[in-house]
Amino acid sequence: MLETATADREKSVQDRRNRFGMRFGDPIFRILTLSFTILVLLILGGVIAILLEGSWPALRAFGPAFVWTASWNPVTENFGALVPLVGTIVTSIIAMLIGVPFSFGLAFFLTEICPHKIRQPIAIAIELLAAVPSIIYGIWGLFVLAPLFQHYVEPFLIATLGDVPFVGVLFQGPPIGIGILLAGLILGLMVLPFITAVMREVFLSVPPVLRESAYGLGATRWEVAWRVVLPYCRTGVVGGVMLGLGRALGETMAVTFVIGNAHRLSASLLAPGTTISSALANEFTEADGDLYTASLVALGLVLFVLTFFVLAIGKRLLLRNTKGTLA
């Protein structure tokens, strides 16, 4: 008797709460999340509008040729985005060439080969790399790596690869230490913890039964990594790489320290160059003249478009890969 009464009361409380939740809670939650989404979209739209407005004088003066003009002359006010654009892309490619294989190796070692005891400490140590502020990477690159590059690495590269046909042009010129190659290397180190963290997570998501069956069939570790683990979590891996690439494209401080900040095109990776974000960091406060300022904003717009396309391509790859896995 008593028991049923208590149960009834509980049931009615539950009902009331449900009714309240249905009537108010859910719509409030819906409006709240919707407004967050709208706010973010508004901010994005605002950024695009401001970039367009700010760069308008430069776009009007130079037209689309702004993108492929190599000149950057504040004296004659003739500006073009080609040099920083190429610098941004080349340093990011170097960063990916270094960061992706390293991260893959690290993540595979941590999930498959490393003894269980030291797995966690190593993983934490790598993630700590991501917490190092970028300016520290820049200073370290300038004061520690650059002299090493000037005295040992670059003379070695020039002596060995400098005369090889086709590849040789990439390793020419005097060894200065500072330049596109060093900037790419620093970027590679900076994106490494991000890509590694994502790859480790997705590798852990591979069902043990898949791996164990492969080992059971006599597969080597390399075959397991390449034929089983990687195909299973291709999507996540591509996502991690895109995360790293996004960071490499936009990184500012560290690059400014070690790239040499020179607006010149050069085939050699040892030559100084500039990236869009480092050019902005260097020149924005001091840009006198409306066209100069507008051209710098236009550089920002170019970076925005570049990043957008990279992410879009990344998403497409992801979609295709997911379909591939499903089929």
Partner 1 sequence: MLKSFGKFSRAGVLAISALVIATAAQAADISGAGATFPYPIYAKWADAYKKETGIGLNYQSIGSGGGIKQIKAKTVDFGASDAPMKGADLDSIGLAQFPMVMGAIVPVVNLPGVKPGAMKLDGKTLAEIYLGNIKKWNDPQIAALNKGVKLPDSSIAVVHRSDGSGTTFNFAYYLNAVDSNWSSVGVATSLEWPVGLGGKGNEGVSALVGQTQGAIGYVEYAYALQNKLTYTDMVNKDGKTVAPSLESIQAAAANADWSSAPGYGVILANQPGAKSWPMTAATFILVYKTQDKPERAKQVLDFFGWAYDKGGKMAEDLVYVPMPDSVVALVKKSWSDVKDSSGKPVL
Give the interface with partner 1 as residue ranges (CB under 8 A): 49-50, 52-54, 56, 71-76, 142-143, 146-147, 150-151, 174, 176-178, 256, 260-264, 272, 274, 281-283, 285-288, 292
Shorter beta-carbon distance to partner 1: residue 181 or 198:
181
DSSP 260: -
Strand-pairing partners, residue 78, are: 73
- Residue 102 CB, shortest distance to partner 1, in Å, is 26
Least Cα distance to 51 among 307, 308, 303 occurs for 303
Shorter beta-carbon distance to partner 1: residue 72 or 232:
72
- Residue 264 CB, shortest distance to partner 1, in Å, is 8
DSSP 72: E
DSSP string, 9-22: HHHHHHHHHHHHII
- H or E element at residue 78: strand 78-79
Shorter beta-carbon distance to partner 1: residue 234 or 263:
263
- Residue 167 CB, shortest distance to partner 1, in Å, is 22
Least Cα distance to 221 among 122, 123, 112 occurs for 112
Describe the crossing of helices 180-204 and 234-250 by its angle, rounded to 10 degrees. 150
- Residue 135 CB, shortest distance to partner 1, in Å, is 12
Shorter beta-carbon distance to partner 1: residue 105 or 155:
155
Quote the tokens at residue 309.
Answer: 């396309």
- Residue 35 CB, shortest distance to partner 1, in Å, is 22
Query: What is the rounded CA–CA span in Å between residue 137 and residue 152?
Result: 20
- H or E element at residue 73: strand 72-73
- Residue 24 CB, shortest distance to partner 1, in Å, is 37
Query: What is the rounded CA–CA span in Å between residue 207 and residue 197?
Result: 18
Query: What is the rounded CA–CA span in Å between residue 133 and residue 110?
Result: 25
Shorter beta-carbon distance to partner 1: residue 10 or 53:
53
Shorter beta-carbon distance to partner 1: residue 94 or 145:
145
| Per-residue 3-state assignment (H helix, E strand, C coil) for 104-132 | HHHHHHHHHHCCHHHHHHHHHHHHHHHHC
Query: What is the rounded CA–CA span in Å between residue 129 and residue 17?
Result: 47
- Residue 93 CB, shortest distance to partner 1, in Å, is 22
- Residue 281 CB, shortest distance to partner 1, in Å, is 8
- Residue 295 CB, shortest distance to partner 1, in Å, is 12
Shorter beta-carbon distance to partner 1: residue 214 or 279:
279
Determine contact, residues 199/240, Cβ cutoff 8 Å. yes
* Angle CA 143–144–145, to nearest 5: 110
For residue 165, with 0-12 CB atoms within 10 Å meaning exposed, 13-18 middle and 19 or more buried, which class applies?
Answer: exposed
Shorter beta-carbon distance to partner 1: residue 199 or 280:
280
Shorter beta-carbon distance to partner 1: residue 196 or 261:
261
